[in-house]
């Protein structure tokens, strides 16, 4: 039995070594997949699989210097207009969905790795949404020794497009850091039920840890039942979303709502949501990862609230918010 386990471990180590060598030869050495296959003495299909696995496991990181792009000027305009200390625009790439997940994921993943490397935050709160999930997937594996991640909202009974529990689990896998989930539904059945759950030791301890976060990374939901991205909202019922919109709600963060003027819109759900009040976010640094067609109104509302210190968005969304529909022509 021990011999079998030893052989399996040896095979796994050899496989991991081949994956790393294939990636190095292809991305650094410039060899084609066929040349990699000949170099490693494996079939072409296996070389392709090794290279794909290296990318999926975060062994490959690609850097593109865009410091000369006119996006820098738009970042500056957004920072000055909304009092941001940080803004990053992901350059547009061809994508098929309503959300530019590839672009936002790469920019968000790079930001996460920079935050971890900077070692300035011991506790980081994580919100929900497909953009955050994409950022976690794109960041690859990076050790995080002195940081803890904590999910800032419940989600046990809701089928998110990107479940908070999946996201926090992937963060733990990618970093090896302590990562904590809020063991609760997104909404309690009543305000009284919320108070009962909040008194439970596990939930109370997690909420206390959320309060210690010095950085919160959140998504921004669009309040529009007809939009392709509406399933990212904490509330799925179309009638409820329409009612919220009639009351002026334009953006959702952590299951709570913000109007076009940046004011927090009080709702009956506030007493039920298993998440810290939005006003509590003013006690820490808050960076949102959000973008895509139709999200302009929601992102601008969130920016108007003054809750955000930083924004990671896509190029088209950034241009729409600053009123720049044109695109600079690169010098030949």
Q: How far apart are CA 249 and CA 22, in angstroms?
A: 51
Q: What is the largest CA-CA distance in the chain?
A: 68
CA dist., res. 228 & res. 158, Å (int): 18
- What's the mean pLDDT when you consider all of the chain? 85
pLDDT recorded at residue 265 = 95
Is the sign of the CA dihedral 236, 152, 250, 139 positive or negative?
A: negative
Where do we find the tokens 């039995």? 1
Q: Are 307 and 282 contacting, i.e. CB atoms less than 8 angstroms apart?
A: yes
Per-residue pLDDT of 131-154, as tens digits, reads 999 999 888 788 888 899 999 998
Token code pair at residue 20: 């790393």
The answer to whether 125 touches 217, Cβ cutoff 8 Å, is yes
Sequence-ordered list of residues with C-beta below 8 angstroms from that of 20, at least 6 positions apart, any chain: 54, 59
Residue 60's pLDDT is 77
The per-residue pLDDT for 68 is: 47
Q: What pLDDT score does 41 carry?
A: 84
Phi-psi region at 82: left, alpha or beta (left = phi > 0; alpha = psi -120 to 50): alpha
What pLDDT shows up at residue 122?
96
Beta pairing partners, 313:
89
Q: Is 273 exposed, middle or buried (0-12, 13-18, 19+ CB in 10 A)?
A: buried
The pLDDT value given to residue 170: 87
Torsion of CA 272, 273, 278, 280, to 10 degrees: 80
pLDDT at position 327, please?
A: 43
Q: pLDDT averaged over consecutive 10-residue blocks of the chain (332 residues)?
A: 59 78 83 90 90 82 62 90 93 79 90 91 93 89 89 70 74 91 88 93 94 96 70 68 91 95 92 94 97 92 97 94 59 30
In the chain, what is the straight-line distance between the N-terminal and C-terminal CA atoms, in Å? Answer: 65
Q: What DSSP element (H or E) covers 88? A: strand 86-90
Predicted local confidence at residue 266, as pLDDT: 93
**What six digits make up the tokens of 102?**
């590839």
């Amino acid at each position: 039995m021990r011999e079998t386990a030893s052989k399996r471990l040896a095979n796994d180590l050899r496989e991991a070594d081949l994956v790393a060598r294939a990636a190095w030869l292809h991305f650094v050495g410039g060899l084609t997949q066929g040349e990699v296959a000949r170099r490693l003495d494996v079939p072409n299909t296996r070389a392709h699989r090794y290279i794909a696995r290296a990318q999926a496991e975060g062994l490959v990181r690609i850097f593109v210097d865009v410091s000369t792009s006119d996006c820098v000027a738009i970042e500056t305009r957004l920072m000055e207009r909304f009092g941001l200390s940080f803004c990053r625009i992901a350059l547009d790439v061809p994508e098929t969905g309503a959300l530019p997940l590839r672009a936002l994921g790469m920019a968000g993943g790079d930001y996460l790795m920079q935050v971890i490397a900077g070692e300035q935050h011991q506790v980081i709160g994580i919100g929900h949404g497909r953009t955050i999930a994409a950022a976690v997937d794109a960041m690859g594996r990076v050790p995080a020794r002195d940081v803890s991640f904590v999910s800032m909202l419940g989600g046990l009974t809701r089928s998110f497009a990107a479940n908070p529990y999946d996201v926090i689990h992937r963060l733990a896998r990618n970093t090896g850091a302590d990562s904590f989930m809020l063991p609760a539904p997104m909404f309690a059945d009543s305000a009284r039920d919320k108070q009962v759950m909040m008194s439970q030791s596990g939930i109370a301890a997690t909420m206390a840890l959320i309060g210690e976060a010095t950085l919160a990374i959140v998504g921004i939901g669009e309040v529009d039942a007809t939009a392709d991205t509406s399933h990212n909202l904490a509330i799925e019922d179309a009638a409820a979303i329409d009612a919220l919109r009639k009351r002026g709600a334009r953006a959702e963060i952590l299951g709570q709502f913000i109007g076009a003027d940046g004011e927090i819109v009080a709702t009956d759900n506030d007493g039920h949501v298993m998440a810290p009040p939005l006003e509590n976010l003013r006690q820490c640094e808050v960076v949102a990862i959000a973008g895509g067609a139709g999200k302009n109104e929601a992102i601008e509302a969130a920016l108007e609230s003054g809750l955000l210190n930083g924004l990671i968005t896509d190029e088209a969304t950034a241009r729409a918010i600053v009123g720049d529909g044109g695109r600079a022509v690169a010098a030949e």
